[in-house]
Structure 1
Amino acid sequence: MTPVVSADPVRFTDLLWDASAHIRHAIDDLEFLRLLGAGTLPLDAFRRYLEQDSLYLSGYVKSLSLLAAHAPNPLAGAFWASAAASAMDEASSHEAMLNGGSLPSSTSTPEASPECLGYTSYLIATAATEPYAVAAAAVLPCFWIYAEVGRSLAAAAKTVLDRDPQHPYAQWVAAYDAPEFHAIVDAAKNFVDDAAAAATLDQRKQMIDAFVVASRYELMFWDSALHPTAWPLAESAVYA
């Protein structure tokens, strides 16, 4: 069913959320998230997720920085620039967890998975070449879906934390259910609503498409941590 795009949306982000409902339901049902919430996810899968998320965040920072540069006013620009800085801090936290000794060590340098490279390439290309409103819609699922995943896992994470206060999964989940993170998500939604209010009808349709595509990448990215996709002919390159 194709969403009906109003010429004068009141809360455009609600329309985006509705358009991605089937994808979000699939995310909620992922085995990766179920095992993560229960604290029973294999350690190598959690390490793989953190490695790929660190690589993803590097690209996400670029897309947010482009979005900040193209923002229509200083307030929006400052918000997206701040979000880019926060993503850099998040990547540093991932690195600390990866090197903290609680996860299996890795002897190879992580390579972006097909899902990770596809997702970041899409966001960067959208931020660089599409109207500001479309780019803002494209980056929103990373904020919003992460927040909702964290909210749904919060109760399970509390149980795991009570049993093992040092459990890395529960500590990670708790960070994404923090009130501060939800406040940032609410601000991002407001800026996307503002962008939709100033956009043309065609751009609003593009915003829906961009939000849905990014939501699909969210689904693929989460799932690939437990069910990784190998690159075809993935042997090391030979340099002359």
Structure 2
Amino acid sequence: MTTPFDNPDTLYFKMKTACAEDWHDYCHHEFVQGIADGTLPLESFKHYLQQDYLFLIHFSRAYALAVYKSETLEEMRSASNSVAGILSEMNLHLEYCAEWGLSEQDVVNQPEARANMAYTRYVLERGMAGDVLDLQTALSPCAVGYAEIGLRLINDPATKRDGNPYWKWIETYGGEEFVSGAIKQVEAIDQLAASRFSEGRMDSLCRTFREATRLEVGFWDMGLNRTY
């Protein structure tokens, strides 16, 4: 299936292709496949939901850092919109958690898992040490990868719909609103690259993308195994 994320001319696609094996491990992880066929243990999904809320707190900080790192008002507005979008998503996330019997206190009182710390702090470190292109590269496996996963699952005839407790999750990340935001992320990376990219940076950017992708795999592992 061809998606809006398969344009070979985008920097995003080139970075994704450079770590194809890790990307496959991320997008076809056992956790993802359990969501697709509805067999993921409910306690694993609840653990993931709680950690994902804590994750979003740090990702909102990362996009706030992107505002600071931006050099133009257009870039600042784009990053600011992302901050607002994540903060809004966090409210929806709490509503979703409530449907699974998890109160706001249940979520915010959870200790942060090591896999969560490793991933979010890595993204913030890349933003602090590098420029806004480094930061947006580190953010993109999550910001775009979830849309790729959701879009694939929602269009796959093998995905279980009726009676799948995770169908709403699939609809969210494979839906028009989230996919549209992910497309904007890909476009934003190309816009940033227009004034900041050189071939000499390619290895570094691909390394950042690869490490963030591997940390996504670790996040799925954490959810599946319910580790802290």
Superposition TM-score, scaled by structure 2 size: 0.85
Q: Map 1:208-227 to 2 at 5 A.
A: 208-227=206-225
> What CA deviation, in whole Å up to 9, does each residue of 1:173-195 have, x standing for no partner?
10111122222111111111122
Are the structure 2 counterparts of residues 137 and 43 from structure 1 closer, same or farther at C-alpha, using a change threshold of 3 Å? Answer: same
| Alpha-carbon RMSD | 2.4
Query: Contact 2:26/2:214 (CA < 8 Å) preserved in 1?
Result: no
Moved more, 22-31 or 140-149: 22-31
Q: Which runs of 5+ in 1 are unaligned?
A: 1-8, 231-240
1:74 aligned partner: 73
Q: Which runs of 5+ in 2 are unaligned?
A: 1-7
> What CA deviation, in whole Å up to 9, does each residue of 1:53-81 have, x standing for no partner?
10100000000110122112222221121
How far apart, CA to CA, are the structure 2 residues paired with 1:138 and 1:156? 28
> What CA deviation, in whole Å up to 9, does each residue of 1:163-211 have, x standing for no partner?
24xx651111101111222221111111111222322444333222111
Superposition TM-score, scaled by structure 1 size: 0.82
Highest Rg: 1 or 2? 1
Identify which of structures 1 and 2 has the higher relative contact order when contacts are C-alpha pairs closer than 8 Å and 6+ apart.
2
SS at match of 2:39: coil
2:58 aligned partner: 59
How far apart, CA to CA, are the structure 2 residues paired with 1:103 and 1:155? 29
Aligned length: 218
How far 1:43 sits from its partner (Å)? 1.3
What letter matches 2:141 in structure 1? P
How far apart, CA to CA, are the structure 2 residues paired with 1:155 and 1:15? 24
1:189 aligned partner: 186
SS at match of 1:72: coil
How far apart, CA to CA, are the structure 1 residues paired with 2:12 and 2:171? 25
1:15 aligned partner: 14
How far 1:155 sits from its partner (Å)? 4.1
Query: Contact 1:134/1:203 (CA < 8 Å) preserved in 2?
Result: no
> What CA deviation, in whole Å up to 9, does each residue of 1:105-148 have, x standing for no partner?
85993111111001111111222231121111111111111011
1:169 aligned partner: 166
How far apart, CA to CA, are the structure 2 residues paired with 1:61 and 1:91? 10
Q: Indicate the percent of aligned positions where both proteins have the same amino acid.
A: 24
